[in-house]
Amino acid sequence: MRAPLGAATEAPLSISQFTDTSAHLRCITCGSKPASAAQDFRCTSCGDLLEFAFPEWSHDPPALKALWVHRKTLLNPLAQSGVWRFRELLPDTPEEHVITLGEGNTPLYELPRCARIAGLDTLQAKHQGMNPTASFKDTGMTVAASSAHQQGFRWVACASTGNTSASMAAYAARGNMHSLVLIPEGKISWGKLSQSLDYGALTCQLRTDFDGCVRILNELVRQKPVYLLNSVNPYRIEGQKTAAIELMEQLEWEPPDHIIVPGGNLGNSSAIGKALLEMRDRKLIGRLPKLSIIQAEGANPFYRCVKEFGGAKLEPVTADTQATAIRIEKRNQVPFRPFHTFS
């Protein structure tokens, strides 16, 4: 195996040689640092969510970028994954516990006609539907499912309207784990649900909305040895942020002026924002692009939070949109804080 250009070593490089194992959990509000996460991934001090922080960083940015490119030439499944090839910015996971389906590596398309219609010089789209189960959820699920496997869980579970359940069921099956899906009555994507059933998930339809499914699931994981795989799981956020890292690599580390993403429970938005901050702070990129979140008019509590309350108050709405993936009445799963300081 040859060393990548710019690596300050003459020895062959392994997949894990550059891995930084200093990542630790931290509450996004009070800053407490638990040694491990509770079953519901809530801070035991204040009840808010947890994130991963990477306080120590000793990698040379050009050498690390060269290593990430070099890994594409290797046959190791971790190197071929568009998530695990960036593992220096992920929580440390032993290779024997990694569950991967070759996720990531999604294309970036030029959209010249759309750019012309919008009055833009350049418009590009990163097609996250090219993941194994046809959604970006796979990038987060590979990391979170691997965490469940590492901790010895036999059951994983999620509340879902479609994409999350399909992704979870696929990775659980790959890792020889059982999966449980809670779905709201009549408010789901049947095509995605069929994937979950094909992968052997136990599926329960409840007479409630998505948020009701989340409440019941939280009670379940507190009482039983079941691993929660919704976006409150900080491992999900870590995996999903690699889409932004891969995007910067595709743009030769020159950030665009603007990144636009849809907003459901805002986990993906938070993941992308977190990645951008980490890349800037570690001198992988030189500046931050503007990040915008689009919500359906009938399911827009985050828009209303910013527009009506200046971001200080989050009011639930009665969700009404044909876009089942973002038909979520409360954004109480992943508070959107993409540009707070990660120090």
Q: For 111-125, 188-202, 266-280, which range has the lowest pLDDT when averaged over its residues?
A: 188-202
> In the predicted model, what is the mean pLDDT of residues 279-303?
92
More confident residue, 142 or 305: 142
pLDDT exceeds 80 at position 307? yes
What pLDDT does residue 78 have? Answer: 95
What pLDDT does residue 3 have? Answer: 30
Measured CA to CA, the distance from residue 20 to residue 8 in angstroms comes to: 17
What pLDDT does residue 316 have? Answer: 77
Strands 108-110 and 124-126: antiparallel
The amino acid at residue 120 is L
More confident residue, 292 or 263: 292
pLDDT exceeds 70 at position 214? yes
245 contacts 86 by C-beta, under 8 angstroms: yes
- Collapsing DSSP to helix, strand or coil, 281 comes out as helix
What pLDDT does residue 153 have? Answer: 98
More confident residue, 192 or 95: 95
More confident residue, 283 or 333: 283
The distance from CA 288 to its chain's CA centroid, rounded to whole angstroms, is: 19
Q: For 143-147, 172-176, 213-217, which range has the lowest pLDDT when averaged over its residues?
A: 213-217
The amino acid at residue 110 is E
pLDDT exceeds 80 at position 334? no
- Collapsing DSSP to helix, strand or coil, 204 comes out as strand
What pLDDT does residue 317 have? Answer: 77
| Helix/strand/coil percentages in the chain, nearest 5 | 35, 15, 50
Per-position b or e across 276-308, b if 16+ CB within 10 A of its CB? bbbbeeeebbeeebebebebbeebbbbbebeee
Provide, rounded to the nearest whole percent, the portion of the chain with pLDDT above 70.
Answer: 87
pLDDT digits (tens, 9 = 90+) for 36-84: 999 999 999 999 999 999 887 788 999 999 999 999 999 999 999 999 9
Mean pLDDT of the chain: 87
Q: For 65-69, 126-130, 298-302, which range has the lowest pLDDT when averaged over its residues?
A: 298-302
Q: For 194-203, 221-230, 284-293, 316-325, which range has the lowest pLDDT when averaged over its residues?
A: 316-325
What pLDDT does residue 298 have? Answer: 83
pLDDT digits (tens, 9 = 90+) for 152-202: 999 999 998 788 999 999 999 999 999 999 998 776 777 778 889 999 999
pLDDT exceeds 90 at position 326? no
User: 196: alpha, beta or left, given left = phi > 0 and alpha = psi -120 to 50?
Assistant: alpha
What pLDDT does residue 21 have? Answer: 52
Q: What is the pTM of this model?
A: 0.88
Is the CA virtual torsion 83, 296, 228, 33 positive or negative? positive
